């Protein structure tokens, strides 16, 4: 055995060892690879498991979310349902309340209609009753008026000049109420006091323009008005101004004046005095008052009074006019506004005596007469209570007896408030 063989043996052993080592290394490598693959597999397995777990979790989450959403949807649905039910309930309640309200309203309306119908019925009945009462009252009043009228006509014939102008009371009350009324205003007073002149001024005031020959006749030296003359004064309808002849002349004696002039048939009377308040004036005033006729007094010719005041007393115009007014008020006892101081001389009107106020008063009296208003108390003092008005009225207005037979007179003096009570009228008188 040489070195070559030992080297060979040595190589052989080395080779065997290295082969063994390589085999071992390979085995180790293989085992390592197996381990690594194992680990890789395990890691993959873990990863897969993890992924699966994640997926499962995701799915569970998604399922949970779905469930949650489902629940929410259900809840919402339930909520909506509950709301709907509440709404329905409310709507039902509302409908029921509305129905109740409507029912109540209908009931109330029905009750109101019933009450209204009832009250209308009652009002109708009351109206009918009132109308019947009024008609009855009207009929009674008309009956009384007719009787009074017939008695008046029987006892005091209407003077011829007045016949077409007095308000005849007709038998039929409706026709009577419908007819156009006449209003007659008379101007009375002593002869020459200025009645015709005053009428002329009144006509002018109201714009009535007549031809000269149809104007009131102004008297000159005693040739005054002898016949009653009528002057239509269209201020409100059928108004007539009557220019009556003055009393106290031989042709027109005071005693028969009242009756002849048909005093009772006038609606308003104006007594014209030119300063001397005569017994005739006083008689007229009392008679007019007790006949219940509207009346005023005109003091005419105040221009002469003013002149006399200056000349005789040294009074101013105002002093004289005030004195004249006061004097006449004392004499007549009339309320102040029923006395008018006028002059027919137009040139004085800018200072005093214009007929304007009198015309205004006249118009008011005409209106009051057309409205059938009661005649107001004319005097400042009440008449005596123990005076029997009917009797007084009777004798003041009685037709005069034959000449020489005592005619009923008023009390002596100028008092228009103290009529003497008449002795009873003889039968048939």
Ligand X SMILES: Nc1nc2c(ncn2[C@@H]2O[C@H](COP(=O)(O)OP(=O)(O)OP(=O)(O)O)[C@@H](O)[C@H]2O)c(=O)[nH]1
Q: From 21-29, 189-197, 283-291, 313-321, give the range in contact with ligand X by CB under 6 A.
A: 189-197
CB of 206 to ligand X, least distance (A): 18
Task: Name which of residues 221 to 240 contact ligand X (CB under 6 A).
Answer: 224-225
Partner in contact with 283, chosen from Mg ion, ligand X, none, beta carbon below 5 to 8 Å by kind: none
Secondary element (H or E) of residue 54 = helix 3-155
For residues 243 and 306, what is the distance between their CA atoms, to the nearest angstrom?
26
CB of 244 to ligand X, least distance (A): 8
Q: Which residues bind Mg ion (CB under 5 A)?
A: 195-196, 224-225
- C-alpha pair distances (Å), 189 with each of 161, 258, 285: 18, 11, 10
Q: Interface with ligand X includes 273 (CB under 6 A)?
A: no
Q: Interface with ligand X includes 345 (CB under 6 A)?
A: yes
When the beta carbons of 269 and 286 are compared against Mg ion, the nearer one is: 269
When the beta carbons of 71 and 346 are compared against ligand X, the nearer one is: 346
- Judged on CB neighbours under 10 Å (0-12, 13-18, 19+), 201 is buried
For residues 25 and 19, what is the distance between their CA atoms, to the nearest angstrom?
9
Question: How many other CB atoms sit within 10 Å of the CB of residue 170?
Answer: 15
Partner in contact with 417, chosen from ligand X, Mg ion, none, beta carbon below 5 to 8 Å by kind: none
Q: Interface with ligand X includes 281 (CB under 6 A)?
A: no
For residues 301 and 320, what is the distance between their CA atoms, to the nearest angstrom?
13
CB of 155 to ligand X, least distance (A): 27
Q: Which of 184, 197, 254, 354 binds ligand X (CB under 6 A)?
A: 197
Partner in contact with 197, chosen from Mg ion, ligand X, none, beta carbon below 5 to 8 Å by kind: ligand X
Count CA atoms within 13 Å of residue 114 on its CB side: 6
End-to-end CA distance of the chain: give it in Å, rounded.
Answer: 223
Q: Which of 184, 185, 245, 341 binds ligand X (CB under 6 A)?
A: 245
Check if the beta carbon of residue 225 is closer than 8 Å to that of residue 385: no
Give the residue nearest to ligand X (CB).
224
Pull the structure tokens for residue 387.
């005076």
When the beta carbons of 196 and 283 are compared against ligand X, the nearer one is: 196
When the beta carbons of 56 and 276 are compared against Mg ion, the nearer one is: 276
CB of 384 to ligand X, least distance (A): 32
Secondary element (H or E) of residue 364 = helix 356-370
Q: Which of 193, 240, 317, 369 binds ligand X (CB under 6 A)?
A: 193
**If you ran DSSP here, which 8-state letter would residue 29 be given?**
H
For residues 422 and 45, what is the distance between their CA atoms, to the nearest angstrom?
159
Q: Which residues pair with 270 in a beta bridge?
A: 187, 296
CB of 329 to ligand X, least distance (A): 20
Q: From 219-227, 361-369, 377-385, 412-420, give the range in contact with ligand X by CB under 6 A.
A: 219-227
For residues 273 and 285, what is the distance between their CA atoms, to the nearest angstrom?
12
For residues 426 and 405, what is the distance between their CA atoms, to the nearest angstrom?
13
Partner in contact with 344, chosen from ligand X, Mg ion, none, beta carbon below 5 to 8 Å by kind: ligand X
Q: Per-residue x/- mask for ligand X, residues 301 to 340, rule CB under 6 A?
A: x-xx------------------------------------
Task: Name which of residues 57 to 116 contact ligand X (CB under 6 A).
Answer: none
When the beta carbons of 220 and 427 are compared against ligand X, the nearer one is: 220
When the beta carbons of 169 and 324 are compared against ligand X, the nearer one is: 324
351 phi/psi in degrees, rounded to 5: -100, -45
Count CA atoms within 13 Å of residue 121 on its CB side: 6
Residues that bind ligand X (CB under 6 A): 191-197, 218-220, 224-225, 245-246, 300-301, 303-304, 343-345
């Amino acid at each position: 055995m040489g070195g070559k063989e030992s080297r060979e043996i040595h190589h052989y052993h080395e080779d065997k060892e290295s082969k063994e080592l390589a085999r071992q290394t390979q085995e180790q490598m293989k085992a390592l690879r197996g381990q690594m693959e194992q680990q890789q597999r395990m890691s993959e397995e873990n990863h897969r498991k993890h992924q699966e777990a994640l997926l499962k979790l995701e799915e569970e989450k998604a399922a949970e979310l779905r469930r949650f959403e489902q629940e929410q949807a259900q809840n919402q649905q339930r909520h909506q349902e509950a709301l709907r039910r509440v709404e329905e309930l409310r709507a039902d309640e509302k409908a029921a309340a509305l129905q109740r309200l409507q029912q109540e309203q209908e009931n109330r309306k029905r009750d109101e209609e019933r009450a209204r119908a009832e009250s209308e019925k009652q009002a109708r009945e009351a109206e009918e009753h009132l109308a019947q009462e009024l008609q009855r009252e009207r009929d009674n009043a008309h009956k009384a008026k007719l009787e009074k009228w017939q008695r008046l006509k029987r006892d005091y014939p209407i003077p011829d000049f007045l016949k077409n102008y007095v308000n005849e009371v007709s038998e039929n009350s409706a026709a009577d109420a419908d007819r156009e009324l006449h209003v007659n205003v008379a101007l009375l007073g002593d002869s020459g006091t200025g009645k015709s002149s005053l009428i002329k001024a009144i006509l002018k005031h109201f714009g009535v323009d007549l031809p000269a020959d149809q104007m009131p006749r102004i008297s000159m030296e005693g040739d005054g008005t002898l016949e009653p003359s009528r002057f239509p004064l269209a201020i409100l309808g059928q108004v007539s101004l009557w220019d009556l002849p003055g009393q106290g002349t031989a042709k027109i004696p005071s005693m028969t004046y009242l009756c002849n002039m048909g005093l009772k048939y006038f609606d308003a009377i104006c007594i014209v005095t030119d300063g001397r308040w005569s017994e005739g004036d006083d008689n007229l005033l009392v008679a007019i008052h007790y006949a219940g006729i509207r009346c005023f007094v005109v003091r005419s010719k105040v221009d002469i009074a003013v002149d006399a005041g200056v000349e005789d007393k040294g009074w101013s115009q105002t002093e004289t006019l005030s004195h004249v007014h006061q004097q006449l008020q004392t004499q007549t006892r009339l309320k102040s506004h029923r006395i008018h101081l006028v002059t027919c001389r137009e040139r004085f009107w800018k200072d005093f005596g214009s007929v304007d106020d009198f015309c205004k008063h006249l118009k008011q009296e005409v209106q009051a007469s057309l409205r059938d208003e009661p005649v107001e108390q004319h005097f400042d003092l009440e008449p005596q209570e123990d005076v029997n008005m009917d009797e007084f009225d009777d004798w003041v207005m009685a037709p005069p007896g034959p000449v020489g037979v005592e005619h009923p007179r008023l009390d002596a003096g100028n008092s228009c408030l103290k009529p003497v009570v008449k002795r009873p009228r003889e039968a048939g008188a």
